Amino acid sequence: MQDYIPGDTLLERAMSGFPVSIGTSLALESLFPPMQAPYDPKREIPQEVNINDYQTFFVNLSTLFRNMIAAVSKEAFLSAKPGLFASTLEEEIEVIENLFQVNAQGVCKPIFYYSTYDELHRINAAGFSLREPGSDAQKFYHAQYENTIKVLNKHSDKIHHFKDAVFQNEYENALILTHQPYDLT
């Protein structure tokens, strides 16, 4: 695969088969046929998933945010404000919801969430600690993410907040899009 070039603005971010950030789009390409030209038409899908086998698709907002940031230049990230990040994520949420409504006939429903991992922050086991932002760049990224989540929470009632692990009240077959290993437990 060719190296992708990040976009100069959030609107020009790198994308693939869907009008969402490239990392998110590549994941969705294992669920649905692309609706636009994929970034790498020669890419073989590692494992095609039958969406009809699932009732829920959990989507971690920190993963969507991370994928969005990776799809733009450093300058674009540094100059954008949380409101612009939030509106871009809202657009991506709408695209994902529409994909599931059309292609999964409403059987598999996306659930958009973020987690604060409160319980993990309280653990005092020897040798265990959550990684906290240390460098100025990490602190800036974290602040942008936190402020974006605050804006999203004000604008949307679709966002679920988990204080610890991803949790569902009843048993369902579920897929998850996350880059956080703890979400998989």
Q: Over the stretch 15-57, which tens digit does the pLDDT of each residue have?
A: 999 999 999 999 999 999 999 999 888 888 877 888 989 999 9
| 182 token code pair | 């703890």
- The pTM for the full model equals 0.90
pLDDT of residue 1: 45
Report the share of the chain in percent with pLDDT over 90: 57
What pLDDT, on the 0 to 100 scale, is given for residue 128?
62
Indicate the pLDDT class of residue 3, thresholds 50, 70 and 90: low
pLDDT band at 2 (very low <50, low <70, confident <90, very high): low
C-alpha separations of 156 from 59, 83, 140, 150, 160 in Å = 15, 13, 24, 10, 10
Q: Is pLDDT above 80 for 123?
A: no
| Nearest-5° Cα angle at 80, 75 to 83 | 165
First to last CA, the chain: 32
| pLDDT tens digits, one per residue of 129-154 | 667 888 999 999 999 999 999 999 99
Q: How far is CA 8 from CA 45, 52, 77, 172, in A?
A: 28, 37, 9, 40
The span from the CA of 154 to the CA of 83, in Å, is: 11
| One-letter-per-residue 3-state SS of 43-75 | CCCCCCCCHHHCCEEEEEHHHHHHHHHHCECHH
94 in Cβ contact with 41 (< 8 Å): no
Sign of the CA dihedral with 92 first, then 104, 107, and 175 last:
negative
